[in-house]
Structure 1
Amino acid sequence: MARRNSRANGNNNIPENTGQDKITVARVVNNKVRNGLESSSFEHVYHASNSMCRTTEADDECFYLGCSVTSSIYFFLNYQMELKTTPQCKPRTHLMFLKTHKTASSTILNILYRFGDSRNLTFALPKGKHNTFSYPDNFSSSFVEDFPPKLGLKYHIVCNHMRFNLPEVKKVIPEDSFYFSILRNPVNMMESAFTYFQDAGPFSKANSIEKFLKKPWEYFMSVASNRYYTKNFLAFDFGFLEFGNYSEEVVNYTISRIESMFDLILISEYFDESMILLKNTLCWEYEDVLSFKQNSRSNKTKHSLSEQVKLNATKWNWLDWEIYVYFNKTFWEKIDTNIGRQKMQKELKELKRKQKDLMETCILGISDPDKIHDLSLKPYQPGKARILGYALKPNLTVEMNQKCKRLVMPELQYTVILYNKQFPPVRAKDKPVKLVNSKQN
């Protein structure tokens, strides 16, 4: 039988049909029901299917499609019942983000800071207004300011740099917390780390990454401190040794442990896709994952690598490479399972539109740090890197200026703001007259 394409005209009314048109009507109605387009008038569907199933003129295909429509009604009514009984998605607010180094993690930190700040959530913050939990020591709850918190409660969010240590982390945040982190291609990560930490540890003994990778062990063993910057930086952040036995068994164990501890691993090279996946997983809105790049280097301090140097960097960071390859694969599997590529493209388009609008509203330009006069927006300048900042547009409303400023505020300055909000400074008249055995942090 010749098949004909049909297109719904957007009208909910089903016209009277006889003979050959019934097959077309059946297809249209069946598709409309299954797509949820007849949500308030399924009686039209029943009328059409009933008419086809009792007519003596309908051929086998028409009869089949008519009964298929009837089954679609059953499917649709059950779907409507599920909507009424299924709990609505609730935004997650108990969060543990492992802030890895040189992976765009500062941008995610800013997202989490703004999310928690706007909702008056509590943060587990490093003692003494620092931005790390005594890194590179293994994390301990004793590194958290005011822990345990008053009334025996736990904090909503922990997201500053740490060397991950699950038993101690679990002391700080609720049992139902969502654990996630982000990875980056170890080759690109090492190039960035070399520029950022060139004045520290083994990197300080080599004047180029090419020179370092020609004799990496020689440089690595030449300095006892800060060696973790130079080899398997990701594995070290997750709490594993940065050097040692990289047998298949060790690699598989490391990966399985990370997978068992973390609910989601994002990928820096697909940052926008990561934000869509995070948004959907946490039941957040687009506005919750909008961001501007933080801790971004000037192109003048970026260094292109030859294929041989990339190969050497991969071998030197083999454990990181295996971790990255595995979770890059699971990242796309989660997208395919939970979102789908077509929906992902649609949501990416919307995310980029909203970010473009926000950029046009807030940002006058991306600036060299020397040209940024507002100290609250001036980024820290480490090593040989040249970290860029943002200049905001003038004449913004007070509310919009506050919003834009939070979007571009560097990590160090925002941490202090949250610290002062969560632990207000004690006024002189409120201080106790006498302190016994007091200690300074």
Structure 2
Amino acid sequence: MACVLPALLYSSKMLSRKKAFLLLLLAFSTGTLLLRQSAHLGWFPKSPLFSCAPPLPARPKHTAVAFLKTHKTASTTVQNLLFRFAERHNLTVALPHHACDHQFCYPRNFSARFVHPYTLPPRLIASHLRFNRDELQRLMPNDTVYVTILREPVAMFESLFSYYNQYCPAFKRVPNGSMEAFLDNPHRYYRPHEKFAMYAHNTLLFDLGGDPDHSPDDAKYLPGFIRQVEGIFSLVMLAEYFDESLVLLRRLLAWDLEDILYVKLNMRSPESKLNITSAHVAAQIRAWNALDARLYGHFNATFWRKLSEVGPECVQKEVQDLRRACARLARHCLGGRPQLRPAMQIKNKELRPWQPSAKVDIVGYDLPGSGAPLDEQCLKLVMPEVQYSRYLLRKQSLRNRRRAALHRPLPPRGLLRPPRHPAPKAV
């Protein structure tokens, strides 16, 4: 408009005041319309790489990422934003073979054999697996950044007990599904070598490849294990400080704010949660999961040291930027504040989250129906883990087959046969 106004003012000397006024009004209206359209299209801010000090040198986005998806730690939300990043940047995502369902044959130790051949070679991996350093390093590129997320053991155990009450034999044995009864005498119900026993004891340690049944009295075991974790994982996020964790993730990978936008996924309804109000019960959970509690305590301290290196004011500024951008994204995709719905109330079957049992209600989102085609990015934003994994596998399988067809050698010229013409029809 700065260029248009002088020209209009000049021409107004030659035109009548009425015509000049109409031209000015038209220019103003056009400029306002363009501004509104740009605001509508850009519902996340195009901010610089990092919005506050300390300034860091510009570098390209890091695209080789291995995310260890731990259980009941908000890891599905992290997985979703990683999947969306991979699609935007045309990255191959390692996905489980059909025999492993949507996890890498968990709880078996991870093996590269569990990866679907159509998802090789990958730049990103983010599905459930039990950590195996050698196999992952054999699969992933040398420049891979390793990341995981932990959760405070009391809240995590409550979630595990509720979510897996129909899968974990130790939980199924408890009369009336009472978590208090289990904690009063866990060895009465727990069998270390049963299938799905890992959900009942030191699950974080198990997912990271450790021994959940190792004696907590061994003063050398856990410090040695922590050193191994720190030797490969560049960032250990915390579910309780999710937005702060994403700030650290974005800085680690040199990503944009757009790359870490999210809505919460795989959440239980309030009726499916067990309220822990007793300090005694919380102490029992920490004592039963003593290795997890100490592991979390160590990385909790490490996490806050990383935040202090960035600076409290800087972290708070970027957290606020993230929350505002997520709110804008929710308004764009969901028409306002996200409304969580029971699975059977979600009209689009592709958006219905998997239900672990009849006793647990996992809620999800439904995109507002307006008759217009669905916004693909909004669809992916709220797509549950199982459906998104299957979608990516289909997409990458198709891409793999197309590439194979392009590179398939032609037969020797002598073997080519002339096309057969159909015989003339009898009259």
Same topology, TM > 0.5: yes
Scaled by the length of structure 1, the TM-score of the pair is: 0.74
Residue 394 of structure 2 is aligned to residue 424 of structure 1: no
**Unpaired runs of 5+ in structure 1?**
1-82, 431-441
Residue 205 of structure 2 is aligned to residue 205 of structure 1: no
* Equivalent position of 1:88 in the other structure: 58
Once the two structures are superposed, the pairs formed by residues 226-265 of structure 1 within 5 Å of their partners are 226-246=196-216, 247-265=218-236
Distance 2:148 2:85 in 1: 17
* Equivalent position of 1:113 in the other structure: 83
Residue 156 of structure 2 is aligned to residue 189 of structure 1: yes
Instruction: Give the AA of the match of 1:323.
Output: L
Q: State which of 311, 317, 320 in structure 1 corresponds to 2:292.
A: 320
Per the alignment, in what secondary structure is the counterpart of residue 101 of structure 1?
Answer: coil
Q: State which of 339, 344, 347 in structure 2 corresponds to 1:373.
A: 347
Q: Which has the higher contact order (CA 8 A, sep 6+)?
A: 2
Deviation at 1:130, TM superposition (A): 2.1
Residue 358 of structure 2 is aligned to residue 388 of structure 1: no
Q: State which of 139, 150, 160 in structure 1 corresponds to 2:110.
A: 139
* Equivalent position of 1:7 in the other structure: none
Would the alpha carbon gap of residues 266 and 218 (structure 1) be closer, same or farther in structure 2, given more than 3 Å must change? same
Deviation at 1:167, TM superposition (A): 0.4
Residue identity (%): 37
Residue 252 of structure 2 is aligned to residue 277 of structure 1: no
Residue 273 of structure 2 is aligned to residue 299 of structure 1: no
* Equivalent position of 2:322 in the other structure: 351
Alpha carbons 1:184, 1:267 under 8 Å: kept: yes
Alpha carbons 1:131, 1:415 under 8 Å: kept: yes
Instruction: Give the AA of the match of 1:349.
Output: Q
Q: State which of 221, 238, 252 in structure 2 corresponds to 1:267.
A: 238
- Deviating more after overlay: 354-363 vs 137-146: 354-363
Q: State the Cα deviation string for residues 116-172 of structure 1 (Å, max 9, x = none).
A: 0111100111001721110000000100111794xxxx3100111000000000111
Q: State which of 124, 128, 135 in structure 2 corresponds to 1:157.
A: 124
Deviation at 1:223, TM superposition (A): 7.5
Alpha carbons 1:124, 1:172 under 8 Å: kept: no
**Unpaired runs of 5+ in structure 2?**
1-54, 406-427
Larger Rg: 1
Q: State the Cα deviation string for residues 197-242 of structure 1 (Å, max 9, x = none).
A: 0012211111111111111011003982211010000000000111
Would the alpha carbon gap of residues 296 and 237 (structure 1) be closer, same or farther in structure 2, given more than 3 Å must change? same
Would the alpha carbon gap of residues 396 and 98 (structure 1) be closer, same or farther in structure 2, given more than 3 Å must change? farther
Alpha carbons 1:202, 1:222 under 8 Å: kept: no
Count of matched residue positions in the alignment of Structure 1 and Structure 2: 339
Q: State which of 191, 213, 216 in structure 2 corresponds to 1:221.
A: 191
Per the alignment, in what secondary structure is the counterpart of residue 391 of structure 1?
Answer: coil
* Equivalent position of 2:4 in the other structure: none
Instruction: Give the AA of the match of 2:143.
Output: D
Distance 1:197 1:294 in 2: 17
Per the alignment, in what secondary structure is the counterpart of residue 366 of structure 2?
Answer: strand
Distance 1:423 1:291 in 2: 26
Instruction: Give the AA of the match of 1:402.
Output: E
Would the alpha carbon gap of residues 376 and 348 (structure 1) be closer, same or farther in structure 2, given more than 3 Å must change? same
Alpha carbons 2:94, 2:119 under 8 Å: kept: no
Alpha carbons 2:103, 2:128 under 8 Å: kept: yes
Per the alignment, in what secondary structure is the counterpart of residue 263 of structure 1?
Answer: strand
* Equivalent position of 2:28 in the other structure: none
Alpha carbons 2:347, 2:366 under 8 Å: kept: no
Once the two structures are superposed, the pairs formed by residues 13-32 of structure 1 within 5 Å of their partners are none
Alpha carbons 1:141, 1:147 under 8 Å: kept: no
Q: State the Cα deviation string for residues 21-66 of structure 1 (Å, max 9, x = none).
A: xxxxxxxxxxxxxxxxxxxxxxxxxxxxxxxxxxxxxxxxxxxxxx
* Equivalent position of 2:140 in the other structure: 173
Instruction: Give the AA of the match of 1:330.
Output: T
Would the alpha carbon gap of residues 353 and 87 (structure 1) be closer, same or farther in structure 2, given more than 3 Å must change? closer
- Deviating more after overlay: 278-287 vs 247-256: 247-256
Distance 1:396 1:138 in 2: 47
- Deviating more after overlay: 414-423 vs 125-134: 125-134
Distance 1:130 1:412 in 2: 9
Deviation at 1:281, TM superposition (A): 1.2
Q: State which of 333, 340, 356 in structure 1 corresponds to 2:305.
A: 333
Instruction: Give the AA of the match of 1:424.
Output: L
Per the alignment, in what secondary structure is the counterpart of residue 85 of structure 2?
Answer: helix
Distance 1:223 1:88 in 2: 50
